[in-house]
Structure 1
Amino acid sequence: MLSLKAIVLSTTNYADKRINQAESTTDDVDKRINKTESTVQLITRINELIRLKVQRMTWINGLIRLKVQLITRMNELSTTNYESIRLKVQRITRINE
C-alpha cells in the first residue's frame, strides 16, 4: 500500500499539473483577449478614418457644387454681356445706316 506521504505527494503533483494547465489556459485566454482588444481598437480607428474621409468627400462635393454654381453664373453673365454687346452693335449699325 502506498504510504500517506506518497499519496499526498502524488496528489500534490497532480494538483500542480492542473494548476499549470489552468495558468497556461488563462495565459492563452489573456492573449486572445488582448488580441481581440487590439482588433477592436484597430476597427475603431479604421471606422474613424472612414468617417473623416466621408466628411472630407462631402466637403469636396460641396465645394464642387459651389464651383459649378459659380461657373453657371459666370456663363449667364457672359451670355448677358454678349447679348448687350450684340444689341449695342445693332444700334450702332442702324445709326450708321
Structure 2
Amino acid sequence: MIVSANAPFLAELAQIIGARFSPSKGKTASQLYVSNRWAYRNTFAPEEHPLDPPESSWIKVHEARPRPALGPKPFTFYGYRLAPYPTFLLNGHLVREAR
C-alpha cells in the first residue's frame, strides 16, 4: 500500500504498474494498492547497472573519533580527514571533509 497526498503521482504510478487507482475524495491522502504480482504484468523492465563505478576503490580508515553533540536531540558526528582527495561518493552521496 502506498499512501500519498500527491494523487497525480499515484495515478501515474498506477498506469506504469498496471494498477487501478481512484483518488480519495474529501481526504488529504490517497492510497494505491500494489499487488505482490505487479512485476509479472510485463510492466517492469529490469535494467543492469554496474554496482561499482570504474573510478571506485576501497580505502583504509585510519581513525574515526566520535564527537557527541548535546542538547534536546543529541546525536554523534564522526570527524574524518580525507587524503589525498577532499571528496568521495558514499552510497551515491558526495562526502566532503569538514572545513
TM-score tier by shorter-chain length is: under 0.3
Which structure has the larger Rg over C-alpha atoms?
1
> What TM-score does the superposition give when structure 2 sets the normalisation length?
0.15
RCO higher in structure (CA 8 A, sep ≥6): 2
